[in-house]
Every structure is written in structure tokens, then in C-alpha cells.
Amino acid sequence: MNILSKKSLRAGLTMAAVATGLLSYSAYAVERDAGTDFSNMPQRIIVQYKDTKVRDWAGQAAALAQRGGHGMTYVRSLALADRQVYRLNKRMTPGQLKKLELTLEADPNVLAVEEDVLMQPQFIPNDTFYNVQWHYFEAVGGINLPPAWDKQTGAGVTVAVLDTGYVFHSDLHANILPGYDFISDVFVANDGNGRDPDASDPGDWVNANECGPFNPPQFRPSSWHGTHVSGTIAAVTNNNQGVAGVAFDAEVVPVRVLGKCGGFLSDIADGIVWASGGSVSGVPANANPAQVINMSLGGGGACGSTYQSAINTAVANGTTVVVSAGNSNANASGFRPANCANVIAVAATERFGARAYYSNFGATVDVSAPGGDVAFNPTHGVASTLNDGQTSPGNENYVYYQGTSMAAPHVSGTAALMYAKNGGLTPVQVENILQLTARPLPGPCTGGCGAGIIDANAAIDAVP
């Protein structure tokens, strides 16, 4: 199957079909995080002595066991003559092991003690198009995701995607929860009715001169934008099919707020409150309140009290709100919701780590993430789940998009991985950790791109 290419811009989406080749990648060994439980595996330590003198090593094991209060047996010598390996008779928690190490290091003959860490192959998914998802694994422009997957996969976390809804895709559907259609205007809804529990995407195509002041100059096909965003967050992974998701064991609640010509602020505000577990008159309660909300949407103007109040409600409910900075190559301070308080505003970078030419910038931006640049090279976009229907749903496929809309779900997915490690995180903690662990852009960013490109692995490690 070929991956197609689309440009995702604020004014619309332009499609150009291109074939793509496959890039190479490799697996390599990494250390599992300290909290991993290998219940059936022996736990071992390496003791470094202050000299290379040959001793009664079995006797040394008994002496160390007496000092540390934990039984152990001698295993062998290392090629490094001052180090010996001992096996613990009973597994210890990371805290207990650290205490044992410090106790043994008090021995006048011992220089240092460390765990003989069990190494494993790094998880590399077998999805057929994973190797074109450079935005996950490449050292220059990626988010350092593979080592993060050895630690967390997003299990138990819910992400709400406020967007165009969801069109069925076999590489995503298993991770989709019941959502809601918040579009109240029948014309915008394009599905024959107003609000209802059906968050499926009927298509958002528009004809020329159909959208008032936002008229496209010609027919614009359906974008299936929400499905692309959702695929980046939580596409089913390691299933020998398609693409991988950042937090592939997380689940997505589709909240439909964008339709033909866009979406009204009032509908989006209600969607924000509902997604976070708040109450909306006339709408059943959300059975799956989200820890993370992704809003790859926006427009010009000041934040305004309605947007800000809805966001504040979500944050008060414990939900992290991630938004795209906008695709106008302008200061994000003039675009909402990127200029609202209490959000994580995300700029887009291209494959070489520079700010993407279209991405908004400025002090309002918190962090950056890969958004791609299909204008430079079609395979430099962000690959994810989509549909080939020009108006109503057709056949599922995979498409390269570019935009800050594609950057934001990288951050939402990473936030989901963080919540999987510690469900008690606050939105402020999530933002602070993402900023503190971000790396500087390897390429230029005129105007400011926040703290830098997110590092998923470093962010998880920094979660308390």
C-alpha cells in the first residue's frame, strides 16, 4: 500500500498522491527502567573492590550477606579484574537495592556496588509503515520514542481528540472509545442532525464559495483530520499493519467539534468541558474522562473568556490540554487557543529539526514537536491513519500530513505515556516536565519555539 501526502494548513488541505519507499532502521539493546519486574529472573550485583587481590569469593559472599542483611551467592569474576558478580537470593525493590548497595560500599575493601542490570532488545514495532515514521525515532528530528516504549505504552490512559470526529480505520479502531458529536448547527455537522452520541466523521468537504468569509477558492475534499490526529496518538501497534501510535495502548475519545467550514467556539467549549469529565446540559456524562485533551485546531484573535473558562475547567478537572500553535508563520500570540493560559502550545519542526516554514512561533509556544514538511519532500510529512474518500468515507489508507496539527498529537501521546507512569500528575507537572526535558532544536527557529523538541524517553524518566 502506498502512503499518500497531504498538506495540512489552516486554510485547508491539498492532496497530492505519491508513492514512497521504505527507510531502514535497526534495533539495539537498552536498559530497562528500574521499576520493571522480572519476577522469574535472578537479581545480581557487581561489586568493585579497591584492589585486584584474589580472595575466597564464597567467603566474601557470606561476609557481604552478613553486612547487608541479604543472602547472596558468588557467581563469577569479570574480565575487569577488580569486579565480581554476586546473585541475590531474593529480589529487591529499587529502593531496597539502593540501600543494600550503599551498605556494602561501607566495606573498607569495596569501592563501588551496582546492579548487574538485565538488558533487553529495544521494542521496535513491526508495523509495515513504522520505518517511515521518522518523527518517532530519528536522532535529528524525532522525539526519542523507542526507548520510551520499553517503559510505558499508555495503558490505562484516555486522550480526548477534539476534531472532525472519527472515520473507521482497522489500524485504530481497537483503541477508540465512545465519543460525542457536539456540532449543533446542521449545516456544519453535515450529517443531517445536530448534537448526538455519534462522533463518526461523515466528511467535511466544501464546495467553492460555501463557507462565507472562509470560502475556499475551489472544491476542498474531506480531510478526515481527526482520524489522522488520533492515529498519531494511539494507532494500534505491533500488529504487522500500517503505522504505530505514540501511546499505542492508550484509548481515544473522539469529540466531534469540527465539520463543514470549521466549528463554532461554543461547541468547542462544551466539548472541552465534557471531555474532561465536566457536565454539559442535555448531554450524557462522559463515561471516560480524559487525562489529556488534544486540540489541533484554532483561529485568529484573542483567547477570550469562553475559551479560557472552558480550558480552566478542564485543567481544574485534572486534564492536560494540548493545542497546536497554528500554521500561519506568525506569532502565536495572535491565535487561539494557542494564546490561552493553561494550555501546552506546540510549534512544528521539520525532519532536520528546524522550525517548519508554516509553524507559528513566539513566547506563547511551550514546546515543539515534529510536524513535517511535505513541500520539501513528500516523505518528510507525518504518516498516520486516514481515508481516501473525497466527500463521504471511502477506503482506509495512510497519508503524510504536515502542520502543527500533526505536532500536537506527538505531545498528547507523550503526555499519555507520562500519565501511564503516574496517574496522579497534575497538568502543571506535565507541562513542566515536557519543557525541562525538551532538547534544543538542532535547526533554526526564528521567533522562538518554546523549550525545544520534546524527548519522550527523558520525559518519562523525569516523571516522579
Give all strands (DSSP E) within 310-381, no chain letters. 320-324, 335-336, 344-349, 367-370
Cα 463 to Cα 43, 421, 437: the distances in Å are 25, 7, 10
Query: Does residue 276 carry a catalytic annotation?
Result: no
355, 349 contact by CB (below 8 A): yes
150, 163, 201, 249: which is the annotated catalytic residue? 163
Q: Give me the half-sphere count of Cα atoms (radius 13 Å) on the Cβ side of residue 40.
A: 0
116, 405, 410, 455: which is the annotated catalytic residue? 405
Cα 240 to Cα 124, 138, 252, 272, 407: the distances in Å are 12, 21, 21, 34, 25
Query: Does residue 405 carry a catalytic annotation?
Result: yes
Query: Does residue 163 carry a catalytic annotation?
Result: yes
225, 228, 380, 410: which is the annotated catalytic residue? 225
Residue 228, all three cell numbers = 489522522
Q: How far apart are CA 232 and CA 407, in angstroms?
A: 9
3-state SS class at 299: strand
24 — phi, psi (to 5°)?
-90, 155
404 — phi, psi (to 5°)?
-65, -20
Helix axes 305-316, 265-275, angle to 10 degrees: 10
Give all strands (DSSP E) within 380-444, no chain letters. 382-387, 396-401
Q: Which residues are catalytic?
A: 163, 225, 405
